[in-house]
Amino acid sequence: MQYNFLSATILLLLITDPLGNIPIFINALRGVAKERRRVVVLREVAIAFVILLVFMLAGDRFLRAMNLTDVSLRIAGGIVLFLIALRMIFPHPDGAMGGDSRGGEPLIVPLAIPALAGPSALATVMLLTSQAPGKMFEWIGALTVTMIVCAIVLILAEKIQQWLGERVVTAFERLMGLVLVAISVEMMLTGIRTFVHQL
């Protein structure tokens, strides 16, 4: 599957899953003063953006250094996406991050990593750049739009959850999980087809 700006943005939005992250952010920010929450969300989104951007820009060099091919990354990325999607469809009773809420102001973990810049997001940005390195500005644009949407949704997390209700947010997350399953299977099949042709 060849990605463009729009399809890459949709893919990154599905993977970073801002709606699905609403309960995680609300739970993690419970011990933070209300006037600080917006600052913390923006800081965590910015950290996630920088991490993903570094992997996007240096991903192919990392792959070469580790002697990894585009095919192996595509199949591995598909498997990781599949596991993330299953967790979205069949959530853990303690929440996606295992229910670890120690109070205080979170820094980097668990909000920037792994909630936003998790293994699947890192694998995806590396896959985009290794698949079409000439479209780097498109990928950076797609990542920027994704992070802006994440920031807006997560700043409004409490209002969205009150407005839509917890059941609707859960239904959206499961629907996104189903779409992500299809994308992950397509990634794996493309990787397997490419591998078979190389034999």
Task: Spell out the per-residue pLDDT of the chain, length 199, in tens.
Answer: 678 999 999 999 988 989 888 877 887 888 899 889 999 999 999 999 999 999 999 877 877 788 877 788 778 877 877 887 787 788 765 554 444 445 568 888 878 987 899 777 888 898 888 888 889 999 999 999 999 999 999 999 989 888 888 788 778 778 877 887 887 888 789 889 988 998 8
Contact 56, 131 (CB under 8 A): no
Give dist(CA 13, CA 144) in Å, integer. Answer: 11
Query: How many distinct structural domains can be found in the chain?
Result: 1
Give dist(CA 18, CA 24) in Å, integer. Answer: 10
Distances (CA, A) of 91 to 20, 84, 97, 173, 177: 10, 10, 10, 10, 10
Distances (CA, A) of 100 to 16, 69, 169, 176: 19, 36, 21, 24
Which pLDDT does position 96 carry in this prediction? 46
Contact 187, 74 (CB under 8 A): yes
Question: In terms of residue numbers, what domain contains 92?
Answer: 5-198
Residue whose tokens read 């095919």: 71
Which pLDDT does position 92 carry in this prediction? 63
DSSP 149: H
110: preceding bond cis by omega (within 30 degrees): yes
Which pLDDT does position 103 carry in this prediction? 54
Which pLDDT does position 97 carry in this prediction? 46
The reply to whether the predicted model has a pTM over 0.85 is no
Q: Which residues of 67-101 are buried (b: 16+ CB within 10 A; e: fewer)?
A: eeeebebbbbbbbbbbebbeebeebeeeebbeeeb
Beta-carbon contacts of 59 under 8 Å, excluding residues fewer than 6 positions away, are 125, 126, 129, 130
Which pLDDT does position 93 carry in this prediction? 58
Q: At what angle do helices 18-28 and 157-164 cross, to 10 degrees?
A: 110
Which pLDDT does position 169 carry in this prediction? 76
